[in-house]
Amino acid sequence: MGCVFGREARPRSAAAAAVPAPVAEGKDEDDLSSLSISKSQSTFCNAEGGVVALESSRVEAEEEDEVGSGRAGVNGGSDSLPQRQRKKPNPRLSNPAKHVQGEQVAAGWPGWLAEVAGEAIKGWIPRRADTFQKLDKIGQGTYSNVYKARDTFNGKIVALKKVRFDNLERESVRFMAREILILRRLDHPNVVKLEGLVTSRMSCSLYLVFEYMEHDLAGLAATPGIKFTEPQVKCYMHQLLSGLEHCHRRGVLHRDIKGSNLLLDNSGVLKIADFGLASLFDPEHKQPMTSRVVTLWYRAPELLLGATHYGVGVDLWSAGCILAELLAGKPIMPGRNEVEQLHRIFKLCGSPSEEYWKKSKLPHATIFKPQKPYKRCIAETFKDFPSSSLPLIETLLAIDPAERQTASASLKSKFFTTEPYACEPSSLPKYPPSKEMDAKIRDEEARRVRAPSGRFNADGAKKTRPRDRAPRAMPAPEANAELQVNIDRRRLVTHSNAKSKSEKFPPPHQDGALGFPLGSSRYGDHPGFDLGDASFSGVLPLGGAGPTAEPADTSRLRRKKPPGGRERRKGEGGGSFQLG
Ligand SMILES: Nc1ncnc2c1ncn2[C@@H]1O[C@H](COP(=O)(O)OP(=O)(O)OP(=O)(O)O)[C@@H](O)[C@H]1O
């Protein structure tokens, strides 16, 4: 598909004349070989010696000034940013001047990208597409496909995340630019590294180049026969919290911590990935943010209650859910919708104190406040967990985000300082491929094998009962709710449909984990939560409650399926093929 967005910016510099037009207009976007760029542009965009290196060393110096703190307040607590960092312009809003755009186009970037996302690509040069050999499709996200590929320069295996811009809306491009800017800010062994970008002037897609990671924690945890020991859980959690500590120190909230976004390589190293929902935050200069983030099962109560000023606590809540999930062997609060999710939270963690209801002034407090308070029962529920894990779970799953520990403080907790200690990542077992996608394929395969003896739908497909399906966490229904165009679009949708927020989630029959009882955990059984409690009668408010509390983002959802139908599954599509 050719570009329909914007005009190709005319290079102004003399160097621009040396940049030939690409030859690939109209070719299949999936085919990297269709992109052709001149030799003069073939420098790898890993311009670590340029802007990235400068940024990196500056932030590093700032990070050293940081003092890890104690509590994660609703606006980031004491995990605050140093003064110098705060003075930087908001990269979400700034874009280089026109002459810089011209230079970027001269360097090989497409005009549509330089025009809208100039700040994100600043100092980088696009990598030639034909220097990668695509090997396999390894993942599918809400707005991207992820491929395993070989870098033909050095033979290194990488992951290429292809972001499509089907209709090339500026806001979608800006949104992706935010992810790139955030990734460029981060540099830590437990955070996935953006190694470069691949694009062409005419193609309407962009490839993000990442180091390749063999597994993700959700896939691994769902692999039959894999049970994590206490030292292994400590090892994963230590890495997760170290990565989060780094993100938070650099002013980044991830806002979608869950197992499938925690990637693992064959040496046992865990890296936080998928910064598509991440946001920059500055506790000193509060900006309202959307509360419609984080996959439901890992979503903090303040978000469910509509908070628009929140901080690092939202990621730490998710980390608490993951810790308990790793020990329990299954998700601990698999709610079907926001009402049920909040109910599960209150039943396990207790309902908020009167003081919290008063001080927090959360938008949905009046709707969700239970008629009678719930008592906290984490210790009883998880009585068979290792005892040193309980204080950490207690603090990470604190209802009041001000009482939730920061990542830095969590890393100093008894959980990590008492025996048995975390094992070394390199001592973790070597697992077969185990992405969440592999787990889904395995489930589908198992269903297919069972199909002959089962009942069939009218269309001949085997009916599946909820308990046949593997648990699957529902992603946040929106991604870029802070972007005005999406806010406006959602307002329109809201007013025309007048649907409740929960209706935007996949209906119950699409979710395999519904009513999943909390039983038979690795560390003993704990009761499922009875949801038939008359004292909790939350009704979700209708949309239109304000710009940051709107229903599903349509642009991100729309991108979920590529035009033209069925996705190739892992292993399909003919093995290795040369791209260039
Ligand atoms: N560096 C990597 N190495 C290997 N696999 C990866 C890598 N990055 C992503 N993947 C795989 O691709 C999947 C989708 O990637 P990612 O989560 O970044 O995309 P997304 O479109 O932002 O997804 P989501 O819908 O979850 O927001 C991941 O769950 C993972 O299995």
pLDDT in tens, 141-171: 777 889 999 999 999 999 999 987 766 677 8
Here the ipTM equals 0.96
- Omega prior to 110 cis, within 30 of 0: no
What whole-number distance in Å separates Cα of residue 118 and Cα of residue 130?
A: 23
- pLDDT of 355 strictly over 80: yes
Where does the pLDDT of residue 564 fall: very low under 50, low under 70, confident under 90, or very high at 90 and above?
A: very low
* CA angle (282, 287, 290) in 5-degree steps: 115
Q: Whose CA is nearest to atom 18 of ligand 1?
A: 274
Where does the pLDDT of residue 450 fall: very low under 50, low under 70, confident under 90, or very high at 90 and above?
A: low
User: Ligand 1, from 132, 135, 143, 144: best to mutate by most atoms within 8 Å of Cβ?
Assistant: 144
Helical ranges in 418-548 per DSSP H: 436-450, 484-497
Query: Mean pLDDT throughout 106-124?
Result: 85
- The response to whether residue 212 sits with its C-beta less than 6 Å from ligand 1 reads yes
Task: Check whether residue 245 and residue 130 sit in a common domain.
Answer: no
In a domain, 516, yes or no: no
Point out the ligand 1 atom lying closest to the alpha carbon of residue 271.
1
Task: Check whether residue 305 and residue 364 sit in a common domain.
Answer: yes
Domain count, the chain: 2
What whole-number distance in Å separates Cα of residue 190 and Cα of residue 90?
A: 25
- The response to whether residue 436 sits with its C-beta less than 6 Å from ligand 1 reads yes
In a domain, 122, yes or no: yes
User: How close is the Cα of 242 to the center of ligand 1, in Å?
Assistant: 20
- The response to whether residue 158 sits with its C-beta less than 6 Å from ligand 1 reads no
- The response to whether residue 139 sits with its C-beta less than 6 Å from ligand 1 reads yes
User: How close is the Cα of 158 to the center of ligand 1, in Å?
Assistant: 13
Decide: 161 and 174 in contact? Cβ < 8 Å: no
- The response to whether residue 192 sits with its C-beta less than 6 Å from ligand 1 reads yes
- The response to whether residue 263 sits with its C-beta less than 6 Å from ligand 1 reads yes
347 annotated among ligand-binding-site residues: no
What percent of the chain shows pLDDT beyond 90?
A: 40
CA 89 to chain centre: 25
Q: Whose CA is nearest to atom 15 of ligand 1?
A: 141
In a domain, 173, yes or no: yes
Task: Check whether residue 203 and residue 222 sit in a common domain.
Answer: no
| Higher pLDDT, residue 28 or 111 | 111
User: Ligand 1, from 142, 157, 160, 161: best to mutate by most atoms within 8 Å of Cβ?
Assistant: 161
Task: Check whether residue 377 and residue 413 sit in a common domain.
Answer: yes
User: Which is nearest to 204 in space by CA: 160, 168, 169?
Assistant: 168
Residues with Cβ within 8 Å of residue 274, at least 6 apart in sequence: 141, 256, 261
Domain span at 423? 215-437
| Higher pLDDT, residue 380 or 532 | 380
Query: How does pLDDT run across 388-420, given as a tens digit for each residue?
Result: 999 999 999 999 999 999 999 999 999 999 999
In a domain, 71, yes or no: no
Among residues 437, 454, 478, the one where a domain terminates is 437
In a domain, 355, yes or no: yes
Query: How does pLDDT run across 268-322, given as a tens digit for each residue?
Result: 999 999 999 999 999 888 899 999 999 999 999 999 999 999 999 999 999 999 9
In a domain, 542, yes or no: no
CATH code, domain carrying 265: 1.10.510.10
Q: Which of 180-189, 211-220, 372-381, 560-569 has the lowest mean pLDDT?
A: 560-569
- The response to whether residue 143 sits with its C-beta less than 6 Å from ligand 1 reads yes
- 256 part of the active site: yes
| Higher pLDDT, residue 354 or 69 | 354
**Which of the following is catalytic: 256, 315, 511, 553?**
256
Q: What is the DSSP letter of 452?
A: G
Query: How does pLDDT run across 460-471, given as a tens digit for each residue?
Result: 333 434 333 344
In a domain, 449, yes or no: no
- pLDDT of 521 strictly over 50: no
pTM here is: 0.69
What whole-number distance in Å separates Cα of residue 84 and Cα of residue 370?
A: 44
